[in-house]
């Protein structure tokens, strides 16, 4: 059982670090959207920490990074597209994404008994990181100026409100 748990953690760390950290850095270098990179790398780091320490310990940090990453993509890319593209991306990210996440959550109780949870959760990392990367690289970005700064400040305030810092001073 311990080997299976370590393999599960390793697979989550690999998909999180590749699809959020590595692709976030590539997207930032290619597109010049460094807030995208910041949110994506933060999400990747907290996702890795969240999965390494066991599922619920850093949940709020991971959730906050995910929320602001999606807010950045929506407010800087998706909302400025034609309505057909908006519907396509909302369908791809929200409908299909939530279906994948639903199967990941429903198999969570049996996560150490079978590979259903590992498969669906890794598909979740791959799918969300891949679609965000695609949008960041291939779609036109509209800089929303002061709103990006406002969201960035709110992000830091939300992260400070998360009561579990990564490094604890003794």
Tokens 């990564």 label which residue? 166
- Specify whether the CB–CB gap between 65 and 48 falls below 8 A: no
List pLDDT tens digits, range 16-67. 999 999 999 999 999 999 999 999 999 999 999 888 887 667 888 888 999 9
Instruction: Look at the block and give the residue holding tokens 């490094």.
Output: 167
| DSSP character at residue 142 | -
Average pLDDT over residues 87-104: 82
- Identify the pLDDT of residue 37: 96
113 falls in which pLDDT band (50, 70, 90)?
low
Confidence band, pLDDT 50/70/90 cuts, at residue 91: confident
Q: Coil, helix or strand for 32? A: coil
The arithmetic mean of pLDDT across residues 110-136, rounded, is: 82
pLDDT at site 148: 94
Q: What is the mean pLDDT of the chain?
A: 84
How much is the pLDDT for 167? 53
CA 8-9-13 angle, 5° bins: 120
- C-alpha pair distances (Å), 110 with each of 15, 96, 115: 20, 22, 9
What's the pTM value of the predicted model, to 2 decimals? 0.85
Neighbouring residues of 59: CB distance < 8 A, sequence distance ≥ 6 = 50
Q: Domains of the chain: which residue ranges?
A: 2-161
Q: Which two tokens mark 110?
A: 């049996």
pLDDT at 126 over 50: yes
Buried/exposed 44-56: b ≥16 CB within 10 Å, e otherwise? bbbbbbbbeeeee
Scored b (16 or more CB within 10 A) or e, 17-37 reads bebbbbbbbebbeebebebbb
Sequence-ordered list of residues with C-beta below 8 angstroms from that of 9, at least 6 positions apart, any chain:
51, 52
């Amino acid at each position: 059982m311990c080997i299976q748990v370590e393999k599960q953690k390793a697979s989550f760390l690999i998909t999180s670090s590749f699809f959020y950290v590595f692709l976030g850095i590539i997207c930032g270098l290619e597109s010049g959207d460094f807030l995208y990179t910041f949110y994506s790398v933060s999400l990747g780091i907290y996702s890795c920490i969240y999965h390494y320490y066991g599922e619920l310990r850093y949940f709020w940090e991971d959730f906050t990074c995910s929320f602001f990453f999606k807010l950045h993509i929506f407010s800087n890319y998706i909302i400025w597209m034609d309505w057909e593209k908006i519907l396509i991306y909302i369908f791809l990210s929200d409908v299909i994404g939530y279906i994948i996440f639903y199967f990941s959550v429903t198999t969570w109780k049996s996560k150490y008994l079978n590979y259903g949870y590992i498969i669906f959760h890794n598909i979740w990392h791959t799918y969300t990181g891949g679609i965000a990367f695609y949008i960041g690289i291939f779609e036109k970005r509209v800089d929303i100026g002061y709103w990006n700064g406002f969201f960035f400040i709110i992000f830091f305030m939300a992260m400070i409100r998360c009561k579990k810092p990564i490094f604890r001073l003794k």
